[in-house]
Structure 1
Amino acid sequence: MLSRRRLLLSRSIKSESWLEASQVHFRRFRSSDSRQRSRNSSYPPQAFPGNQRGGRFNPQRVMKEKKGHILNGFSVRDASDTLLIMEKQVRKWADLPHVHRRLELFGVPRTDVQPILSIFAREVSSGLLRDPVEQNKYHVERFVITPKELNRGLLLDQILTQLFYSWASHTEQQEVLLKSVSRSTLEQISYLYSTADMSYPADLYPKARSMRRKVIMHVGPTNSGKTHTALRALAAAKTGVYAGPLRLLAHEIWDRLNKGQIVPLGMDPDADSEPDITTNMDIIQDSVSRPTVRKGGKAKYARECNLRTGEEFRIVSEYASLMSCTVEMTSLGLPVEVAVVDEIQLLADPERGSAWTSAVLGLPAEELHLCGEEVAVPIVQALLKDTDDELFINRYERLTPLVVQDKSLEGDFSRVQKGDCLVAFSRSGIFALKDKVEQTTGLRCAVAYGRLPPEIRAEQAALFNDPHSGYDVMVGSDAIGMGLNLKIKRIIFETLRKFDGNVERALSVSQIKQIAGRAGRYGLHGEPGGFVTTLHAHDLPMLRSVIPCQPDPIMFAGISPTLAWAEGVLQALPMGTSHRTLLEVAPYVSNVRPPCRACVPSKVEERSRFVETHAKHMKLYDRLLIGGAPMNWRDPLAVEFAARLCQIYNEKIQVPILQALRVGPCLDALESVEGMMSGGKSAAGAPSQGLAILEVLHKSLVLYLWLSFRLPVAFYQSEEAFALKERTEKALDWCLLNMSKRVADRQPATFGLGIPSEAADDVEYRRTPATRYQDESKRELGVKYAKMLNSERRNARSQR
């Protein structure tokens, strides 16, 4: 009863996918700074008295590489090798203890696991998959392992399990298997296999299937102007939506549409208009012709547009005909005239790709514009093969040349020049480069990396772009590759390898080209063209060989299970099934046809352990929501805060933000930094110490806001969280500005260019719909009733 009550209280936002509501909207664009965090890391207590954790925080500590999957070790020359690899490895796979345990968790009785696996391994190793008839029966085209796969052993484990369930569920095969295993076992296998089926994702979107859409792809490299026409079409549409990868991009589109800075398609730009070179969008900036993205807005071009991201709504009008949002927040139930989906190649992203796939298949738009890289074209063509949509492809070339320099810096930081951007892939590496450049050259460095809030990254970019700010060099991670407008003349790679959370790997062609392409943005420099080189000589040959190459091909489009799917699968699994077992059904059992692949969030072990510990008694919707929340699952402070949220939610239903933050050092750190900002005393390392804790505080506030839009009655103090978030951003800004200064030279908070306030947007809006609080008394009554039932449930558990 309590679960039903909570369901009614929480469903203010319906999600087409239970993972759609749990994507991290900027997770994939942060640096891999997990290397320097440890499980028992702590922050220096000297500068911030609120931190009661002993020890010293060591940002240079490196995470040990994880052991690879037990099936790793085989080589792949081509995707066509997959069936032969399955044939050779199946006996080893069938004997693995974890395979046996998984089948037991999926409902296969222990006594039947060994017999049925032995029969399966014998048939596959004897050439089952060589027969074209059998290949067609089991749809073997979905089993693909390529030389580029990072986790081959894990993928082989998944596809062998998928083949097993398909094989064991086939009617003819079951007649043979009945001689060795029980009928109830085969019924359980077939029931789970049919319930978990995800072979026709396009059918999940009846509104899109009821219309014949015109799909227009705009593809090209970075700095090719590929989103230009799409955004003008959106500005001219009666109804429309922009769906982007980052909150910064969604906010920019929202701001420009409301101010009339984008000239609608079909309208001529004014002769006296001035181009805006500060845009983060990949558009054509031509200072000679009349610009279609203007520096100043004009009323005749203005369109009412609302904003919707994972952590914030901005409602200009209840009747606004346009919406700008992050991809995960795109509504797939409202027909529109024009939709623009940016960075379409991200549909292959293991974390967030399913949101792009859902947008391609499910957006009910008469005209759907997909902007991104050329490598996405074959996958989109395959996705739309059965949808009866028209597909048009417009290709664009880079507007300025990109030149690989003949020499590296050879480790000599004195060669760093104004307009350079040094790229590293860890937080500690970024600050080490910043210190070295400033000490060697006297040039001050702005920084941009994934753990910084988007607002602070934008502020640092503005400092770098302003010739009078004193910040002449940028040091950043791969976060500079998307969403930031940077006047970079030269990109310098500190390394061409990156730690991916498990092992250190070479950057892909796509990653290198995405970052290198930020040099020499069209319209931002007096002379056209950008340059790229490396810090060390041994990396330069690889860079030189990669830049002319085509990006790595995309092999699949990610799809995620829906809430209805999860509810059905849970019914097909044994009673008491763990959260992890539920998450593993999609990649290990579901029948997913090419070009799709089932996606599950990263850190499944950490997420599942947290849910089982802190959210075990919540309803399914809440467990999936918490398990997919945007947080760093390896940061002890972040996990501690999330656990505190769950504890208060379980006990009291409603979660006050200050009560949740009372445990831990974050609030004390904020107050300490604010004291320093006002001219108080500060220790030598105070800004860097404060920065680390404030980053965690900001992420915690984002998590609370994220939950407040999905469980608004429980996480009801969104305004208080927004106020704390703005205070934290100002404190973060002060820390970054003062990290390079001696203590005696530190200045009280003036914030230089300053973080834009809400008033600076110059667009009137509110954060909640007008109808949100009309029935507040009834909802408060519902909360009281839910608390009463919660208490009765706890008493019943204690009496068992």
Structure 2
Amino acid sequence: MNAIQKRTFRFLVDRFKLQESLCSRLWWAHVFSSHAYGQDGLQRVPGNNEPCSKRSTHSWSRHRYGIVPHSSPNRLYPSLTCPLRRHTSRHYSDSDSNTNNGNGEKNISTLFIPVPVKTTFNPDDINIGEELGASLKDKKAELLKVLNSFYRRKEIQRLAAENGLDELLFHQAFVSFRKYIVEVESLEPDLHIILSDILVGAGHVDDIFPYFMRHARQVFPALDCMDDLRKISDLTDPAQWYPDARAVKRKIIFHAGPTNSGKTYHALERFCTAKSGVYCGPLKLLANEVHMKTNDKGIMCDLVTGEERRYANPEGIPASHVACTVEMTNVNQPYEVAIIDEIQMLRDPSRGWAWTRAFLGVAAEEIHLCGEEAAVKLVQQLAESTGDEMEVRRYKRLTSLKILDEPLGCLENVRPGDCIVAFNKNDLYSISRQLEAMGKECAVIYGSLPPGTKLGQARKFNDPDDPCKIMVATDAIGMGLNLSIKRVIFNSLIRPIINEKGEKEMDRLSTSQALQIAGRAGRFGTQFEEGEVTTFLASDLPMLKEILACSVDNIEAGGLHPTAEQIELFAYHLPEATLSNLIDIFVNLSKVDNNYFVCNVDDFKFLADMIQHIPLHLRARYVFCCAPINKKHPFICTMFLKFARQYSRNEPMTYDWFCRQIGWPLSVPKNIRDLMHLEAVHDVMDLYLWMSYRFMDMFPDTAIVHGIQRELDDIIQEGVVNITKLIRATESRSPNGVASLPDDEIERKKRTGKSADLKNKSKSKASGTRNQAQSDGSSDEETNGDKLDQGKLGSVSGRLSKELIKQGLLSEDVLDQLHREWRSSGMGGVKGNKGGGGGRKKKKKK
């Protein structure tokens, strides 16, 4: 016999055995029916002759392949044995098909993306199904009726749910199954024969179920490995991820106290006397400061950040002491002393995982934690889980901090040593402009400035011989800078925050944040030994006192983040899933205890989706998505994409290529937009350097890029020194005479509808003003502008405007900007009024 004849013969033998076993299977069905069902056809509960109200989900099993006795394996269809046995097993818990994670936050089934089932068709192969049964090509309508009947059966839906298919997955799997049956050129022989039998009345639609489940497991591979996925994403004992740390008998010393209490100073004293040590700080500025001060004492100390490696030894030999950012903590290197600064940051929704990792993983004999009292209880619980000894040392503030009873009121009342804190750049620019108009020079610090520029502005402000005696800053001054501030003035107590879901919303300043910022006043060792804090508006002063009087809530949990190894294991089980999808499934399946939470991964997923179309190995893709970039800036995102594309092509990003992409050399900024672009270019250089320490062969020119970044830092610093001139230049270039400064804050208020309400209210007032102008016979555009300015004043006195300004959500300058933008966009005309067009059209007629 040839190969085709042998294959046909084997199939006929299997078919004969199948029919021969039908008698025994029907006998099992009869036994099952006689014991479990009465003559009325209703299921009986064992030990009770009362009928159940619902027909058993086992009713389908009285057909052809219904009951597979546990004593006889399913030789014909071994792949179907598992789902059938799981169906009959009572040990299969409902939690296995539960579609929610432990927190009940999201339906896990929405994250499973159907995988297209690949079929191979060789026209030279004999269609054995057609040889043994009837052809199905001309019976698609009948097939669809059979399949739809199968889909509608409640018994099938219950069985599918028991096998891990909830309503959504069942529907998606059925759609794929139906499409497969209707469109495939040649069905598997067993499925072909089953369908043929059903069409001629020799079978039942329930017989399709095993084949449907086989197809569903191809469409959703996770169904076969849910237990493995849950095991991988079990984060209940992260301390065991670090065996080197668990092998060391560690002593934890917690230095608890407010800002300016000397807690970090005492920890650093021990750091300098140790044979080896690591300092883990929240910012590059702090790590650099420790690096410099330690070397100044004659102790060789290296600097390690995401973007920089600076060795104390000129030959590049690693020193025994290291100052690093907390994300760069080496958990494989043993130390005598480790310092983890600002330990309360382990509650941070985005970066908290880095502090948790450093605390659990650093292999040091003595670990000094510096931070707020609020973190003590959680750290004690974590220390108990790791078996570490713990000691708490509490500190009090070295200088006094007084809450004033009088607000600033107006900028004319500022005095040397004042720092005005604003929470968005527009307010910062506006305040700087007004101070400059009054002849008062000020230093400016905000988060997106390069570290060198921040230090330059801080030196300028601290220098007693420099005429700059006032600072305008965002909350970026809260950490990393030593400033000689006498009085901190909060321009507003409302600031944008990222909630637990990763969404941006407006909320009042927390007690912890307020204390961190206010504590910058009256620093020990500066010319101002006593600090003061107040608000700009009188209405905010009671709220500030209330905030500062509150005790800081204890931190309840520390952050965790999926590691590259865990995601690689997920990818092994789900090879068709995207990285973003893998992260989603991991987070939703993850299980943590009360001491931990999974950090927000929205930024990671954003980058993963951005480069999904670029062919990269999973580990490289994961590293790219960990890059610290500002996803809101188009230029930075564009360069990130270019880096990924060049990497995928195995084309190194040389200095010449990089300079062409960023347009180097760059000139001094002429307006605010130029300054913002230079800041973005500086971030791109940071990104290049960050990548260069992870893909050295693809980003080879690290030293040269470091050099031009220092040059760019000087250019930006020159621009910031003349920031008021840049603001004036921006205003003069703006078509409506107002600096159009892109700010996330304005966009956020527009999204939440607050600006829309204000816009509608002001629009109605402006409309009334325009009507009055028309009735007076005035059609000149300048007159309309004057009327609108008066309308603006009336709008400011309105209830909504007052409330927004009171809460710090809006300033009068921003309101003025909105009015002018509305007027320039045509909303300032007399559109719709009797007599024709607005002021602009009438002026043209003139």
Instruction: Determine if the TM-score, normalized by the shorter chain, exceeds 0.5.
Output: yes
Match of 2:400 in 1: 401
| Partner residue in 2 for 1:530 | 531
Matched residue, 1:623:
621
1:228 aligns with 2:225: no
Q: Displacement, 1:215? A: 0.7
1:104: Cα distance to partner? 4.8
Q: Which residues of 2 match residues 356-371 of structure 1 at below 5 A?
A: 356-371=355-370
Q: CA deviation at 1:658?
A: 3.6
Partner Cα separation in structure 1 for residue 162 and residue 611 of structure 2: 31
Residue 239 in 1 paired to residue 276 in 2?
Answer: yes
Please say if residues 610 and 627 of structure 1, whose CA atoms lie closer than 8 Å, have aligned partners that are also in contact: no
State the partner residue of 1:217. Answer: 254
The question of whether the paired residues in 2 share the 8 Å contact of 1:687 and 1:738 is answered with no
Residue in structure 1 matching 2:287, options 241, 250, 257: 250
- SS of the aligned residue for 1:515 comes to helix
**What value does the CA root-mean-square deviation take over the aligned residues?**
3.3
Tell me the CA shift for residue 504 of structure 1: 1.7
Greater Rg, structure 1 or structure 2? 2
> Which residues of 2 match residues 616-765 of structure 1 at below 5 A?
617-663=615-661, 666-667=662-663, 670-673=665-668, 686-741=670-725
Give the equivalent residue in structure 2 for 1:480: 477
Measure, in 1, the Cα distance between the counterparts of 2:660 and 2:603: 27
Find the aligned partners of 1:659 and 1:98 in 2 and give their Cα distance. 46
**TM superposition shift of 1:121:** 11
Q: Could you say if the C-alpha distance between residues 215 and 106 of structure 1 is closer, same or farther in structure 2, counting changes exceeding 3 Å?
A: farther
Contact 1:404–1:531 (CA under 8 A) maintained in structure 2: yes
TM-score (norm 2): 0.60
Distance 1:471 1:221 in 2: 29
Q: Residue 630 of structure 1: CA displacement?
A: 1.3
Distance across 1 between alignment mates of 2:245 and 2:496: 40
Q: Judging changes above 3 Å, is the alpha-carbon distance between structure 1 residues 417 and 107 closer, same or farther for their aligned structure 2 residues?
A: farther
Q: Tell me the SS of whatever aligns to 1:495.
A: coil
- Partner Cα separation in structure 1 for residue 230 and residue 692 of structure 2: 36
Residue 242 of structure 1 contacts residue 339 of structure 1 at CA under 8 Å; is this kept in 2?
yes
Query: How far does residue 187 in structure 1 lie from its aligned partner after superposition?
Result: 4.1
The equivalences for 1:590-609 within 5 A come to 590-609=590-609
Alpha-carbon separation, structure 1, partners of 2:705 and 2:399 = 43
Instruction: Give the superposition deviation at 1:120.
Output: 12
Alignment of 1:386-465 (within 5 A): 386-410=385-409, 412-440=410-438, 442-465=439-462
Return the offset for 1:525: 2.7
Residues 117-145 of structure 1: CA deviation (Å, up to 9, x unaligned)? 999999xxxxxxxxxxxxxxxxxxxxxxx
Aligned counterparts of 1:203 and 1:340: Cα–Cα separation in 2: 21
After superposition, give the CA deviation of every residue in 1:624-647 in whole Å (9 maximum; x if it has no partner).
Answer: 111121111121111111112122
Question: 1:4 is matched with which residue?
Answer: none
Deviation sequence 1:371-408 (CA, Å, 0-9, x none) = 11111111111212221110000011111221111121
Q: Aligned pair in 2 of structure 1 residues 203, 533: CA closer, same or farther (>3 Å)? A: same
Question: Aligned equivalents of 1:240 and 1:710: distance in 2?
Answer: 24
- Partner in structure 2 of residue 468 of structure 1: 465
| Matching residue of 1:101 | 110
Q: 1:316 aligns with which of 306, 312, 315?
A: 312
In structure 2, C-alpha distance between the alignment counterparts of 1:103 and 1:587, rounded to whole Å: 13
Instruction: Report if the CA contact (8 A) 1:195-1:572 is conserved.
Output: no
Following TM superposition, by how much is the alpha carbon of 1:450 offset from its aligned partner in structure 2, in angstroms? 0.7
Return closer, same or farther for 1:638/1:94 CA change in 2, 3 Å cut-off: closer
Task: Name the structure 1 match of 2:300.
Answer: 304
1:101 aligned partner, one-letter code = T
Name the counterpart of 1:71: none
Aligned partners of 1:242 and 1:113: how far apart in 2? Answer: 57
DSSP-derived class of the 1:447 partner: strand
Residues 657, 647 of structure 1: CA spacing in aligned structure 2 closer, same or farther, 3 A cutoff?
Answer: farther
Q: Which residue does the alignment assign to 1:281? A: none
Letter in structure 2 aligned against 1:102: L
Matched residues, number: 540
Distance 1:543 1:113, change over 3 A: farther
Q: 1:493 to 1:319 in 2, by over 3 A?
A: closer
Maintained 8 Å contact 1:579/1:611: no
Q: 1:416 to 1:116 in 2, by over 3 A?
A: farther
1:208: Cα distance to partner? 0.9
Q: Cα gap change, 1:113/1:203 in structure 2, threshold over 3 Å: closer, same or farther? A: farther
Whole-angstrom distance in 2 between the partners of 1:612 and 1:435: 44
Helix, strand or coil for the counterpart of 1:505? strand
Residues of 1 paired with 2:623 and 2:728: CA distance?
48
Task: Return closer, same or farther for 1:362/1:469 CA change in 2, 3 Å cut-off.
Answer: same
Kindly report which structure 2 residues correspond to 1:17-166, keeping only aligned pairs within 5 A, or say none.
100-104=109-113, 116=161
Which residue in 1 is equivalent to 2:516? 514
**Aligned-partner residue type, residue 590 of structure 1:** S
Paired position in structure 2 for 1:289: none
Match of 2:232 in 1: 195
Cα distance in 1, alignment partners of residues 355 and 658 from structure 2: 34
Q: Distance in 1 between matches of 2:115 and 2:321?
A: 45
The 1:540–1:553 alpha-carbon spacing in structure 2 relative to 1, beyond 3 Å, is: same
Find the aligned partners of 2:107 and 2:726 in 1 and give their Cα distance: 56
Distance between the aligned counterparts of 1:693 and 1:476, measured in 2?
20
Does the residue aligned with 1:592 lie in a helix, a strand or coil? coil
Matched residue SS, 1:338: strand
What residue in structure 1 maps to residue 375 of structure 2?
376
Partner deviation per Cα, 1:290-321 (whole Å, 9 max, x = no partner): xxxxxxxxxxxx21111111111111231521
Distance 2:333 2:728 in 1: 58
- Cα gap change, 1:96 to 1:561, in 2 (>3 Å): closer
Measured in 2, the distance between the counterparts of 1:486 and 1:704 equals 31
The answer to which of 733-742 and 457-466 deviates more is: 733-742
State the one-letter code of the partner of 2:237: Y
Which digits, 9 at most, give the CA deviation of each residue in 1:454-504, with x for residues without a partner?
A: 111111011001122221111111110000011111111111111236222
Deviation at 1:623, TM superposition (A): 0.6
By how many angstroms is 1:689 displaced? 3.3
Task: Judge conservation of contact 1:105–1:577 (CA < 8 Å) in 2.
Answer: no
Q: 2:345 maps to what in 1?
A: 346
2-side partners of 1:598 and 1:107: how far apart?
Answer: 31
2:608, 2:621 within 8 Å by CA — same for their partners in 1? no
Tell me if structure 2 keeps the 8 A contact 1:106–1:581: no
1:326 match: 325
Secondary structure of 1:671 counterpart: coil
Deviates more, 1:514-523 or 1:502-511: 502-511
Quote the offset at 1:327 in angstroms.
0.9
Give the 3-state SS of the residue equivalent to 1:503 in structure 2. Answer: strand
Gaps in structure 2 of 5+ consecutive residues: 1-97, 118-150, 168-209, 499-503, 730-846
SS of residue in 1 equivalent to 2:472 = strand
**Counterpart of 2:557?**
556
The 1:740–1:98 alpha-carbon spacing in structure 2 relative to 1, beyond 3 Å, is same
Asked whether the 8 Å contact 1:402–1:519 carries over to 2, the reply is: yes
Measured in 1, the distance between the counterparts of 2:103 and 2:432 equals 52
**Structure 1: segments with no counterpart, 5+ residues:** 1-88, 123-177, 261-301, 674-684, 746-800
Structure 1 residue matching 2:549: 3-state secondary structure: coil
Q: Name the CA shift for 1:95/1:535 in 2 (closer, same or farther; >3 Å).
A: closer
Share of identical aligned residues, percent? 36
